[in-house]
Chains A and B, each alone.
Chain A
Amino acid sequence: MKETKLFKNIKNIIEALSKHEDSSAIEVLERIGTNCDSDEVRSLTASALVNRNTPESLSIVILSKGKGINDMNTGVAMTTINDILSLQDKAIAMKILNDAAGTDIDEEIKETARSVQALMALS
């Protein structure tokens, strides 16, 4: 699908949702993008949510069950972690990762959050 006009349009739409001033764009990304069958669309959606860099968007990527890093396939998860590590302002991401240990979420998700936190500390 890469380099096709359809792919370029989807990429632009997801990027527009990541930059849109309306916060309801995050809900659209979560509802449509993260549930898409296509790995490319899910990867783009995760990157868009990371780049949005808000507590809501990063919570979906890091802590959400079935949609977050823990449940992504290896390639998409690695790309998303790389996007998190590439953030200019990591404060929100660090806070979410620190708070993950104290929240009522699956242990697997907490383990993944700790791994990402360690990577961020090293980066």
Chain B
Amino acid sequence: MEKISINSTSKNIFRAATKRVENNQTNPFGVSFKGKILTADVFENKQAKKINFTGISSIKSKMLSSAIVGSINDFASEISTRLNSIANFGRRIRQNASSIGNQISETWNRADAWWESIRQREVMDLVKSGMSRFKDEYSVSNLLKQPVANIEEMLTSHISMINA
């Protein structure tokens, strides 16, 4: 089959035109392309190459293997990436857990201090209430609730304190 090229077409343009009749014998439609009559070989390859399926299959298998290997590599890298991310996540969790533990112990210490302050405040309140009760013991309203004999004792003891 004659190859179609621009150079050959320009050189043999007249000669190709003279061969039109005989070429038409194999090309009944007389299809031309850029001024040159195309032969039947263009449409029909009489000597069609036989496809080597075994070669194709080997190529395909190689490609498949390569793809598999590539995918395995990708898969392995993806697994390693995910494993790293999992490891990072675990590390972060552990750090968070330790920080949470620190926060819990700190909170516990604060609660302990707070409870201690409350206890101290309660003790102080008790002392104050006791003192106020002691102080109120000599208030006029409380003294009026007591019998005169008790008040007399109080007056005597207090006067003795003046003289002491």
Q: How many residues of B contact A (CB 8 A)?
A: 17
- B148 close to A12 (CB less than 8 A): no
- B152 close to A32 (CB less than 8 A): yes
Instruction: Say whether B151 faces chain A, with CB atoms less than 8 Å apart.
Output: yes
**Mask of B17-49 contacts with A, CB within 8 angstroms, 1/0:** 000000000000000000000000000000000
Cβ < 8 Å to A, chain B residues 135-149: 138-140, 143-144, 147-148
Complex CA gap A8/B161 in Å reads 13
In this complex, the member of B148, B156, B158, B163 whose beta carbon has the largest number of chain A beta carbons within 10 angstroms is B148
- A13 close to B161 (CB less than 8 A): no
Instruction: Say whether B154 faces chain A, with CB atoms less than 8 Å apart.
Output: yes
A13, A16, A20, A24: the one contacting B158 at CB < 8 Å is A13
**Mask of A10-50 contacts with B, CB within 8 angstroms, 1/0:** 10111111011010110010001100111001000000000
Complex CA gap A33/B163 in Å reads 14
Complex CA gap A17/B140 in Å reads 9
- A6 close to B158 (CB less than 8 A): yes
Contacts of A10 in B (CB 8 A): 155, 158-159, 162
- A17 close to B163 (CB less than 8 A): no
Q: Distance in Å from the Cβ of B152 to the closest Cβ of chain A?
A: 5
Complex CA gap A71/B104 in Å reads 79
Main secondary structure of the interface of A (DSSP, over half): helix
Given contacts A8-B138, A12-B140, A32-B156, contact A20 B162 (CB under 8 A): no
B139, B148, B158: the one contacting A25 at CB < 8 Å is B148
Among residues of B, the one whose C-beta sits closest to the C-beta of A41 is B159
Contacts of A22 in B (CB 8 A): 147-148
Q: Distance in Å from the Cβ of B154 to the closest Cβ of chain A?
A: 5
Instruction: Say whether A1 faces chain B, with CB atoms less than 8 Å apart.
Output: yes
Complex CA gap A19/B139 in Å reads 13
B139, B140, B144, B159: the one contacting A32 at CB < 8 Å is B159
Contacts of B138 in A (CB 8 A): 8-9, 12-13
- A9 close to B158 (CB less than 8 A): yes
Complex CA gap A123/B163 in Å reads 38
- B155 close to A33 (CB less than 8 A): yes
Q: Distance in Å from the Cβ of A12 to the closest Cβ of chain B?
A: 5
Q: Which 10 pairs from chain A and chain B are nearest by CB?
A: A16-B143, A9-B138, A28-B152, A22-B148, A13-B155, A10-B158, A25-B148, A24-B148, A12-B138, A16-B140
Knowing that A12-B140, A12-B143, A20-B148 touch, tell me 5 more A-B residue pairs with CB under 8 angstroms.
A9-B158, A17-B151, A20-B144, A28-B152, A38-B159
